[in-house]
Structure 1
């Protein structure tokens, strides 16, 4: 894998349930395209035929017995395919890649949420992904607010059905990672109206575009 690859155009969007990532990613993609940029939209787990098949397993509410280690390895398997099939080729072309979650999600969900050692996740991250986004947005909001939003949608999937304490650990891990690496992270208050959240993200993204000119 090309470790010297420029990842400044690789942008991830992170956050707990109900944070509004889909709306914000759409706005970010529209803003980039308005500037004449080529954009690839991806999601995790998923984004490829292999990844979507893995996603169906991971989110299946009937598979509540899936152990934490299996969950992590399935996430990483989907990610391995996504990196090699989609992300690296796009970055090599000079395209922008906007991804709904990336490896930080494993630190938050399988690490903070499930209790898997962060060092083990980091080892897999280095081997499976080999890259990190150049910019990561954390759409942050209180867990109960996010779950209330998510609860207004369809029936919960296997992960959405977890406890509030699980999601509190997820949020705490995300916030700790963002605080430890402020150069990469942009934390946005997702309690705001969706239009305001999107505007804050687009403003920061425009700065990233200018830095690439």
Structure 2
């Protein structure tokens, strides 16, 4: 069963614990299926170098277009060198973010919707995840959780309005795309995990 499954959400939505849960779920239900885990931006040695520059706060402000081009450079490298080969070999790919993040963050957040659409068409074409689990959370609550983890990165330091715009894009695309399932991430972790397991079972069992 060759599938590409992606976990999406704002800062503090609980993506890391959700990804751990998804991996355990597949260990239980598809033990013989080889899994590959990826993250964006990053996921290859080259893309990880770009990620380190992309995430770190610095005195020189990063122009929105620079941010956009860097994230798509990472994505193109990851898709061509890791994700597509893994899928061709019949493996399961579990991704921490993919193109929907750019639609939300750089598109709605930065106001670069048309540029995101253009770069997506160039770098991805028709390629997309088989299933996306979107962990929806109020940005204020998500940022409170993120601050509780420690020092914030460049993106996490953005304004509340930025994350409100990003959330709006996530919700809009989830309504229009049947491969995106929305999980209420403001619930207890136990309930969130129950909802994720139910969504996986409904789609894959």
State the TM-score, normalizing by the size of structure 2: 0.94
Give 1:135's aligned residue: 131
Q: 5+ residue gaps in structure 1? A: 1-5
By how many angstroms is 1:63 displaced?
5.2
Could you tell me which of 12, 20, 29 is aligned with 2:6?
12
Please say if 1:75 is aligned against 2:71.
yes
* Farther-moved stretch of structure 1 (194-203 vs 75-84): 194-203
2:107–2:114 CA contact under 8 A, matched in 1: no
Question: 1:203 aligns to what?
Answer: 198
Q: What do you get for the CA RMSD once the two structures are aligned?
A: 1.4
Divergent runs of 4+, >2 A: 206-210
User: Aligned residue for 2:183?
Assistant: 188
Map residues 1-213 of structure 1 onto 2, 5 A cutoff. 9-35=3-29, 36=31, 37-62=33-58, 65-116=61-112, 118-130=113-125, 131-181=127-177, 183-210=178-205
Query: Alpha-carbon deviation of 1:198?
Result: 1.9
1:3-46 Cα distance to aligned partner (Å, 9 max, x none) = xxx9x711111110100001001100111122212211111001
State how far apart, in whole Å, the 1-side matches of 2:170 and 2:63 are. Answer: 22
C-alpha deviation, 1:196, in angstroms: 1.8
SS, match of residue 41 in structure 1: strand
Compute the displacement of 1:126 (Å): 2.1
TM-score, reference length from structure 1? 0.90
Please tell me whether the aligned partners of residues 35 and 94 of structure 2 are also in contact (alpha carbons under 8 angstroms): yes
Q: How many pairs align? A: 202
Offset at 1:86? Answer: 0.8
Deviation of 1:124 (Å): 1.1
Structure 2: state its 5+ residue gaps: none
